[in-house]
Amino acid sequence: MADKEAFLSHIQTGYTFKGERFKLGCAMLNGDVVSGADVYLPLKTMNRHGLIAGATGTGKTKTLQVIAEGLSDASVPVLLMDIKGDLSGVAAAGTNSDRIKERYEKIDGSWSPSGYPVELLSLSNEKGARLRATVSEFGPILLSRILELNDTQEGLVAMIFKYCDDSQLPLLDLKDFKKVLQYVSDEGKAELEKDYGKISTTSAGTVLRKVIALEQQGADKFFGEASFEVDDLLRISDDGRGVISIVRVADIQDKPKLFSTFMLSLLAELYATLPEEGDMDKPKLVLFIDEAHLVFQEASSALLQQIETIIKLIRSKGVGIFFCTQNPMDVPPSILGQLGMKVQHALRAFTANDRKTIKQTAENYPLSDFYKTDELLTQIGIGEALFTCLNEKGIPTPLAATMLVTPRSRMDILSAAEMDALVNSSKIAKKYNQEIDNESAYEILTAKLQEAAEKSAPAAKTAGGKKQPEEKSILDTVLSSPIAKQVGRTATTMITRSLLGALGLGGKSSKKSSSWF
């Protein structure tokens, strides 16, 4: 009993917040829920980022759903990366069940169903408003990072962007960039080298091949117009709740480079667009990345460094980022160290490597007098998790094995008809789903090359394509001689005069008339 009272006091003291908060669940001791040991999540520190981890089937997605609902209720917009395609149910109200009733009896709460304001977004052919960015907006540095270029190749890309800026050649999509790359390697090489320096044909060829490889992963659908505006991720619904934007990327699980491209572009755009906010009472936007290992899979050290830098800096813009993955070791240590909130679902120990991972994971959590963390990680059930976050002073809260609340929205996907209805009622789908192909570098250079080809054609025909004149016949020679021409002119003059005289138009001005012949 003493341990239980001490534990209750320990949790209540650690999870007392002055600012706005919402309930995540109720703490457990020795496998039993301790009444009154409520675990809360403070909105003030939600921009300090976080991690949701655990083995398959332990409830990670539902935890993500619960936190997204709590943020929406607090008027905080949310962006979800839906890799598995199972988050669309947030838009529909859930259904009560005996399991939900039993859980809420244990955690001293009440449950009511609710659907949430949802906007479906897409990078590909999935249903929803299309997400795009122009190559110019992506910029030479990010493009070089995603293409994994060396210093020489990166310098070439920077030179191309500078040339296009100076020459008013808009880089909107990948075909624009490829066209310029081909142009500066061939017809326009001399023009470019005169003002910008030497160009390595080998480097240009390498960059082109890497662009084509990126294009094969579907990036040609991402780069283009109309560019998605960050403000459309920060919307509040008519009833005051934050809009939950769901990016449906289930069809690009096997295209990690495209996913990394989009994520890096989005983070960079958020950082560049949003003003500095400092410490806010609640974040402006919270981003959840499900199956986060796809962001880091096949990522170069330069790309990881870029992501790490943005994650460190974007906090001051009022943006929180949460990674959701099976193994916490999927997240690089440099980034893992930036995550203030951690929700750890159960891990499974099937191999020696699994046991090593569990031991390392346990060491990432605050020490506790009430738990043996490494043992508890394999014992907690579905819908339960170890939890710690930062309090309003930036100090980690006590570790709490927590029975989590359940989502109020549907814990399943929307039907095709429901998705169609959601997209049709969208306020932004028509804005972004219209195909736009404005005049850009591709069209301008194509026209320029065509004009040059047309001008050079007559000259080439004169120089090399003109047929040699055939030998003249005797009659041609005689007729073309100066004497023959003079005789012809004289005869013509006489005939003309005779005709004019017969018509009554002749006269004394025969000399003047003859001067025209």
Per-residue pLDDT tens digits for 384-442: 999 999 998 889 999 999 999 999 999 999 999 999 999 999 989 888 887 777 777 78
Is 70 exceeded by the pLDDT of residue 459? no
Cα(409)–Cα(399) distance, integer angstroms: 28
- Predicted local confidence at residue 95, as pLDDT: 94
Cα(407)–Cα(94) distance, integer angstroms: 8
- Structure tokens that stand for 99 in this block: 């399991």
Cα(41)–Cα(416) distance, integer angstroms: 34
Is 60 exceeded by the pLDDT of residue 466? no
Q: What is the pLDDT of residues 197-233, one digit of tens each?
A: 888 888 999 999 999 988 888 888 888 888 888 899 9
Kindly state the average pLDDT of the residues 114-118.
96
Side-chain half-sphere of 229: how many Cα atoms within 13 Å?
9
- Predicted local confidence at residue 344, as pLDDT: 95
Residue in the block written with tokens 């080809």: 453
Kindly state the average pLDDT of the residues 296-321.
82
Q: Are strands 118-122 and 21-29 parallel, antiparallel or unpaired?
A: unpaired
Q: Check: CB of residue 306 under 8 Å from CB of residue 142.
A: yes
Cα(36)–Cα(23) distance, integer angstroms: 12
Kindly state the average pLDDT of the residues 453-476.
54
Question: Which residues make Cβ contacts (< 8 Å) with residue 248, sequence separation at least 6?
Answer: 82, 85, 88, 120, 121, 122, 126, 127, 128
Kindly state the average pLDDT of the residues 498-517.
36
- Predicted local confidence at residue 132, as pLDDT: 87
Cα(179)–Cα(392) distance, integer angstroms: 53
Question: Which pLDDT band, with edges at 50, 70 and 90, does 485 fall under?
Answer: very low
Q: Which residue has the higher pLDDT, 20 or 349?
A: 20
Task: Give the percent of the chain with pLDDT over 70.
Answer: 86
- Structure tokens that stand for 84 in this block: 């598995």
- Report the amino acid identity of residue 468: Q
Task: Give the percent of the chain with pLDDT over 90.
Answer: 47
Question: Which residues make Cβ contacts (< 8 Å) with residue 134, sequence separation at least 6?
Answer: 170, 171, 172, 173, 223, 224, 225, 227
pTM: 0.80
Q: What is the pLDDT of residues 136-183, one digit of tens each?
A: 888 898 888 888 899 999 999 999 999 999 988 999 999 999 999 998
- Predicted local confidence at residue 277, as pLDDT: 86
- Structure tokens that stand for 280 in this block: 């806010």
Cα(9)–Cα(37) distance, integer angstroms: 8
Question: Which pLDDT band, with edges at 50, 70 and 90, does 505 fall under?
Answer: very low
Cα(4)–Cα(428) distance, integer angstroms: 52
- Predicted local confidence at residue 88, as pLDDT: 93
Burial zone of 250 (CB within 10 Å; 0-12 exposed, 13-18 middle, 19+ buried): middle
